[in-house]
Structures are given as structure tokens and as C-alpha cells.
Amino acid sequence: MTGREETGSEDLVAAIESLGARLGEARTAIARRFIGQERVVDLSLAALVCGGHALLVGLPGLGKTRLVDTLATVMGLAPSRIQFTPDLMPSDILGSEVLETAADGARSFRFIPGPVFCQLLMADEINRASPRTQSALLQAMQEREVTIAGQHHRLGPPFHVLATQNPIEQEGTYPLPEAQLDRFLMQIDVPYPTRQTEADILLATTGAAEGQTHEVFTAAELIDAQQLLRRMPVGEGIVEMILDLVRACRPGEPEAPDYIRQSLSWGPGPRAAQALMLGVRAEALINGRLAPSAEDVARLAPPILKHRMSLGFAARARGESLDGLIGRVTEDVTRVGRAA
């Protein structure tokens, strides 16, 4: 190793350690308004640091909206919120062109940006809008731009979508198409709080004043963090584990075990492997480590893979779950990796 390479390596280590400390400060700031649910907070932060989008799935009243609002403050992002309803139109999200008449009588079109032109978009109850309206976000989420009347309009950076969805109330809703689900870096399940956490929530939110938070990052610093994340080293063994895991979850691949072939209709594509490569780095970073481990892959596998997989009819009839299958595949892949 040359002196220059050694210095560069030391600088990278120092930058990663500094970013990890800043993320720890962000977690503390979020906890002042969003009590408990540490895993949900960590995954949400990971999605932002990876530069991706997240789908928050949970019952009403569990604080999903509060979390997104708190994240916007702590991460220094300009937020916007869209309440998805059956009568929502694509132009209500993207914006539209209006015809204006000048004082001299000349007429011209002017583009009025919609709420998607922000840094952190909360898509509340995203599955309540029609597929036509849902598709308005496809280009924005992937290409970070929208096309109106043949004109391209850039978004961000940064630009993130945090969408919410109710897992049980499906009457009058439209399931998200697979193409849109695949654009979410991860699906974050928001469970009921523990008894102690619920007691803390009661005390903190029913008094004369509620806890306040503060800005820890700026939008520019978040972009720098996203670039630094991609420079974090990933061992060859972790890369192989990610590939083994994703490919084993595809029922048509030769690597897929029999129980996957018998249970899944379809599995994750290359975006899942990309998401895991970024996600395990963020997992390590948030937990104060310089490089990801096999445990990080195992912990990130369910939120990154399950919305990219579909159970077959027979598997649903047998009472199988995607979480159970992912856990089984992960265990098998980890065992093989250790044996090698």
C-alpha cells in the first residue's frame, strides 16, 4: 500500500465514522417526536441514506405520518404530502400546463409544478388511487424527472418517496403494480408498540406540550452521505451471499431450492440485489461499523425482498408466508457460505 492509498483509506474510515455518529444524532432527534419503534426508524434512515424510497405498511394510528414529518425536519428536507384518493388525477401529483394571456394579448403555456416537486414526498394511503394515478410516480421514482406535454422537468436531488399503506383495509383500494413495488427500496412493516413504548407515547403526547426535534442534516449533507455510502467497502463473501440469496428466491433459477419452486409465483429481480448492496452498507453504518456482515444481509433480506416476491395459490392455502420463506432461504444461504 502506498502512502497516498493509506492516507485515502484513513480519510474514508474517518468520514464513515463521522457519518455514523451523525446518524446516531439523527436517531436521537427522531426519538423526541417518534417514540420507540427503533427498527422502523433505522430502516427509514437507511432508505434515505441509500437514496431510495420506502413503503411504510401499518395499521392506522401507529405514527407513520408523524415519522415522515419528523424525518423531513431532522434530515433537512423540503416535504410535501399527497393524500391519495380514488378521484386523484395524475396532474394533481405532477402539475399541469395552463394557458396564460399577456398584457399585449400574446398567449403562452406555463407549467405549474405539482406537489411531487419536493425533496421528501409523503404518499399517504398510496393504494387508494387508481392505477392510472399511481403510475404518475413511476418515472419520478426511477428517473427523478417527470414529463409533461413532452417537456422533461427534473426533480431534486435529493428526492425520496415515503408511501404509507394500510395492510388490512383493502375495500376500495387498488393493489400496487409490481413495477411500482420494485421501485421501493424496501417495505417497512410498522407493528404495534410494546406496552412500555405505548405508556411512553401516552405520557409524551397527552400533556400540555409535546417533544420537539431539530435539524441534524441538510439536504446537501444527505447527498454527501449517499455518495459516501457507495464508497464503503463490501467483502467478496457478502457480494456472493447477496447474489446467492436473490437468485435462490427466483423459482425459475437452477439455484432455487424445491420449497421456493413450489411456493413462489415470481421472485426478485436485479433491483433487489442492488438494494441489498446499498442496504447492508447503511445497516452497518447506522450500527457504527465500517463494513457490512452476513448478519446485515440476513436482517435486511425481509424488508428488501418480500414486496418483490409473490406466493402461489397453493402456498397461500398451506398458510405459508413470505417472511417465513425468506428466513428459510437466508438460513440455507448463510449455512452454505459458512461451510465454504
Confidence band, pLDDT 50/70/90 cuts, at residue 338 = low
pLDDT band for position 134 (cuts 50, 70, 90): confident
Q: Is beta strand 54-58 parallel, antiparallel or unpaired with respect to 145-148?
A: unpaired
pLDDT at 170: 66
For residue 268 the three cell numbers come to 426478485
Topology of domain 234-340 in CATH is Helicase, Ruva Protein; domain 3 (1.10.8)
Averaged pLDDT of the chain: 89
Distance CA 298, CA 43 (A): 14
> Whole-angstrom Cα distance, residue 50 to residue 68?
16
Does residue 121 contact residue 184 with C-beta atoms inside 8 Å? Answer: no
Question: Which of 18-22, 43-47, 204-208, 256-260 shows the lowest per-residue confidence on average (mean pLDDT)?
Answer: 204-208
Residue type at position 91? S
Q: For residue 105, report the phi and psi dihedrals to the nearest 5 degrees.
A: 90, -5
Distances in Å between the Cα of 253 and the Cα atoms of 169, 226, 276, 330 are: 35, 32, 19, 16
φ and ψ of 174, to 5 deg: -125, 115
Binned at pLDDT 50, 70 and 90, residue 5 comes out as very low
Of 42-56, 94-108, 182-196, least confident by mean pLDDT is 94-108
pLDDT of residue 206: 83
pLDDT digits (tens, 9 = 90+) for 197-248: 999 888 888 877 777 889 999 999 999 999 999 999 999 999 999 999 999 9
Return the pLDDT at 1: 43
- Give residue 55's pLDDT band: very low, low, confident or very high (50, 70, 90): very high
pLDDT in tens, 56-96: 999 888 889 999 999 999 999 999 999 998 899 998 999 88
